[in-house]
Structure 1
Amino acid sequence: MTLDWTDRILDLEIGPVAHGGHCVARSEGRVVFVRHALPGERVRAVVNEDGGGAFCRADAVEVLDASPQRVPAPCDWARAGGCGGCDLQHVDPAAQRALKATVLAEQLQRLAGIVRPTEVEELPGGPLGWRHRVRLAVDEAGRAGLRAHRSHDVLPIADCPLAPAGSLPPVLEHAFEPGGEVEIASDADGLLHVDAPGPHAGGFPEDGPVVQRAAGREWRLSPGVFWQVHPALPDTLAAVVGEWARAPLGGVAWDLFGGVGLFAAVLAEQVGPEGGVTVVESSRQAVADGRAALADLPQIGWRVGRVEKLVTTLDGQPDVIVADPPRKGLGRELVESLVARGPERIVHVACDPASLARDVALFEGRGYALTELRAFDAFPMTHHFECVALFVRA
């Protein structure tokens, strides 16, 4: 008989935070991953997902003994059965960063065998209003909203406190093509850009490029082209990458998963006109936008395609490689390809601590030591954060 605790109510003593936006508890020998709880609390939780194995998932619905780090959530949807975007609205912002630092340290120790406590640094702007790019789902009635946690259900939100004040309500008033998605971007000039397929009631004016600025430069981006959602993050990452890359004058640098060339712009200034920077990016539109923005830097070359396929075809001996892979990280095959080219330094930008820890273990095993590591709270109120790691050839 399959074990199924779905809808069962449990009184739980909450244990440590875990990667993924929940804390760990135990009941009758099973692990229970609990959202909306904090380490050390006693809560009443309802099981909302159970595959019948060694663990199940639950939401805290009543706090019996609260942590001193608990605060009122600023959004009514940050609750059991609510939005899937925020995991930590019930936590004091400084405590959020401490929890994320705990997760990073645990992942590094468990997956890479490294003991390295690292502070998760606050970015300017505060915990609300930072999300300058929001993707909404559209339900079958044409109403835009955010998805419920681990669900395809679309919640009928009226606003989101993570988005810039006043940016979402005018969009949410409109009807859109059922089943589609709507992306809303606030640019560096405070202008709102709405990218939605098909006709929509009321319509929106003709939209121009999304203007973004970082590293002393300007990009004019097409709809849907990637840019970091936190307005302070691009400059922060560009500064750290530039500090750690130290590409030599006249040298060779690679910018993998390079997008529109934010890091390439920094690397190009370091290598100078006699050096070379190669950007590899799979999005043709991102490359087109990057070429236009960085046309004054002829030392930058662009390759369109998957990094995993193109990296073995790149010419030259790189002095430094910068890689900003998707959430899954680099992985064994790509790490092997990079270290085989023998760069002096590799700067790894990562948005998932578990993937980063696995990559750390791979690099360390191939003679590249983790010498620097910084983490930034680029996604307040969620369990996500951004890391930058420097590997130096032993």
Structure 2
Amino acid sequence: MSPRPPQRRGRPAPRQRQARGASVVGRRFEAVVGPVAHGGHCIVRVTVDPSAEPVETRVVFTRHAIPGERVVLELTEGTEGDRFWRGDVVEVLEASPDRVEPPCPYARPGRCGGCDFQHVDLGRQRALKAEVVAEQLRRLAGLDVPVTVEAVEGDLPEQLAGLRWRTRQQYVRLPDGSRGLRKHRSREVVVIDDCRIAHPEAREPRPGTATEQVAGPTSTQAFEVAADGFWQVHPGAPRVLVETVLGLLEPRAGESVLDLYAGVGLFARFLGEAVGETGRVAAVEGDPTAAGHAATNCPGAEVTAGGVDEVLAAAYDGHWDLVVLDPPREGARRPVVEQVVARTPRAVAYVACDPAALARDVAVFAEHGYRLTTLRAFDLFPMTHHVECVALLERVPSS
């Protein structure tokens, strides 16, 4: 995902759900863990009242679990009338062969909520993420797509183990000078001495401007970014995303390209090189600061600051050969997708950090004659449930 303003990446406190009866927090159940689900947990179905007719059961979205394990889970959220509950594994009775000791002492039930999968072997983590992407595409887009989540090279040997990759890290500063991170779905802070996924040179957000170097297919370019704005936190992410987008689109000299949700112009810069002086590149970004950086970073590109749906309703109409979509977590959504297909691009590269949003938008593209022809997925956030996808959508020739 290309650079974008930090407000789109914040982690708000969970919305307080209306109580539907007495709290069930603290109740324990023994159960077998079901499949992985989107969001960093597994589905466990527990029997609430075996004497009821029919037997009363409830789904529990359970963290620190691995499919197939027999565990004891403790409920952490929910009331008697809720359709589902949330919980944590507090005892493993029959462990998966893929269970490992978490490398971080804070990656435990009731402690830091930043990592979802430290208890899982790194290879199995990627397999679980692939299952989630495939399931979302199957359920929301009606597509049966094989998915492999690829490792991404970093700049440190520890990153081979999924550690020390996070180059930007924001801590909670406490009155006594210590620092901490928040518990899962909570504002409560856990004091920590070292975040194991943080890069040794990780920077905290601060006012000002920073420079990031990105090696593209034919050149290395410097990008001006807001030091407190969004930039990919895995050191290998910008390069692999640029290479993948350009490799899938295969831009040609003289073509026209729309880069939507362009951030500071990561893709627009290299697309401009690919289409050359006879081509045309336009970048649209909602955050004015990021758009200003894009104008500096992308000489020759047309940069517009504004909401993508609003800008497309008023400008850049007519045919465009290629489109890059790199929306925030909620996806592009129907109004933007329909604006894109109205420009009849031969191909669209969709960069997605949320597989559910990707699947919903892919379904809208399909309504308008565009099919998913290639999908690549990258493990840019090891130890967490997050996964980055790049999808190629191409127009189906009319018969």
TM-score range, shorter chain: 0.7 to 0.9
1:284 shift after superposition: 2.0
Matches within 5 A, 1:56-71: 56-71=85-100
d(CA) in 2 for partners of 1:163 and 1:332? 36
- 1:212·1:220 contact (CA, 8 Å) conserved in 2? no
- 1:261·1:279 contact (CA, 8 Å) conserved in 2? yes
Residue identity matched to 1:284:
P
d(CA) in 2 for partners of 1:115 and 1:151? 36
1:111 shift after superposition: 0.8
| 1:134 paired residue number | 169
d(CA) in 1 for partners of 2:212 and 2:151? 25
| 1:329 paired residue number | 331
Residue identity matched to 2:67:
P
- 1:138·1:154 contact (CA, 8 Å) conserved in 2? no
Residue identity matched to 2:29:
L
| 1:378 paired residue number | 380
Q: After superposition, give the CA deviation of every residue in 1:49-86 in whole Å (9 maximum; x if it has no partner).
A: 01431210000011111000000001111111111110
Residue identity matched to 2:125:
Q
Paired residue for 2:150, among 121, 124, 130?
A: 121
Residue identity matched to 2:377:
A
Relative distance call for 1:248 and 1:213 in structure 2 (3 A) is closer
| 1:387 paired residue number | 389
Paired residue for 1:79, among 81, 87, 108?
A: 108
1:139 shift after superposition: 4.5
d(CA) in 2 for partners of 1:22 and 1:266? 37
1:100 shift after superposition: 0.6
d(CA) in 2 for partners of 1:89 and 1:364? 37
Indicate the structure whose relative CO is greater, using CA pairs within 8 Å and at least 6 residues apart: 2
Residue identity matched to 2:114:
G
Residue identity matched to 2:212:
V
Matches within 5 A, 1:71-220: 71-124=100-153, 125-126=159-160, 127-139=162-174, 143-165=178-200, 167=201, 185=203, 194-196=204-206, 209-215=210-216, 216-220=220-224
Q: After superposition, give the CA deviation of every residue in 1:69-115 in whole Å (9 maximum; x if it has no partner).
A: 00000111111111111000000000000011111111111111111
1:3 shift after superposition: 5.2
Higher mean displacement: 139-148 or 13-22: 139-148
| 1:47 paired residue number | 75
- 2:259·2:323 contact (CA, 8 Å) conserved in 1? yes
- 1:242·1:267 contact (CA, 8 Å) conserved in 2? yes
d(CA) in 2 for partners of 1:53 and 1:366? 38
1:275 shift after superposition: 1.5
Does residue 239 (structure 1) correspond to residue 267 (structure 2)? The answer is no
The percentage of counterpart residues that share the same residue type is 46
Alignment RMSD (CA, Å)? 1.7
d(CA) in 2 for partners of 1:154 and 1:210? 31
| 1:313 paired residue number | 314
Does residue 24 (structure 1) correspond to residue 51 (structure 2)? The answer is no
Does residue 11 (structure 1) correspond to residue 30 (structure 2)? The answer is yes
d(CA) in 2 for partners of 1:136 and 1:338? 39
d(CA) in 2 for partners of 1:313 and 1:144? 47
Helix, strand or coil at the partner of 1:91:
coil
d(CA) in 1 for partners of 2:382 and 2:261? 24
Helix, strand or coil at the partner of 1:105:
helix
d(CA) in 2 for partners of 1:85 and 1:250? 45
1:382 shift after superposition: 0.4
1:313 shift after superposition: 2.0
1:123 shift after superposition: 0.9
- Unaligned 5+ segments in structure 1 are 168-183, 186-193, 198-206
- 1:16·1:23 contact (CA, 8 Å) conserved in 2? yes
Number of matched residues? 357
TM-score, normalising length: structure 1:
0.87
1:286 shift after superposition: 1.6
Does residue 284 (structure 1) correspond to residue 285 (structure 2)? The answer is no
- 2:224·2:264 contact (CA, 8 Å) conserved in 1? no
d(CA) in 2 for partners of 1:337 and 1:5? 47
| 1:267 paired residue number | 271
d(CA) in 2 for partners of 1:21 and 1:349? 20
| 1:302 paired residue number | 303
Relative distance call for 1:208 and 1:223 in structure 2 (3 A) is closer
Q: After superposition, give the CA deviation of every residue in 1:257-295 in whole Å (9 maximum; x if it has no partner).
A: 11111110121112211221111112222222232233x
d(CA) in 1 for partners of 2:214 and 2:248? 21
Relative distance call for 1:63 and 1:131 in structure 2 (3 A) is same
d(CA) in 2 for partners of 1:21 and 1:72? 17
- 1:252·1:271 contact (CA, 8 Å) conserved in 2? yes
1:164 shift after superposition: 1.4
Q: Which 4+ stretches in 1 moved above 4 angstroms?
A: 139-143
d(CA) in 2 for partners of 1:59 and 1:242? 42
Does residue 36 (structure 1) correspond to residue 40 (structure 2)? The answer is no
Higher mean displacement: 1-10 or 19-28: 1-10
- Unaligned 5+ segments in structure 2 are 1-19, 48-56, 154-158
| 1:201 paired residue number | none
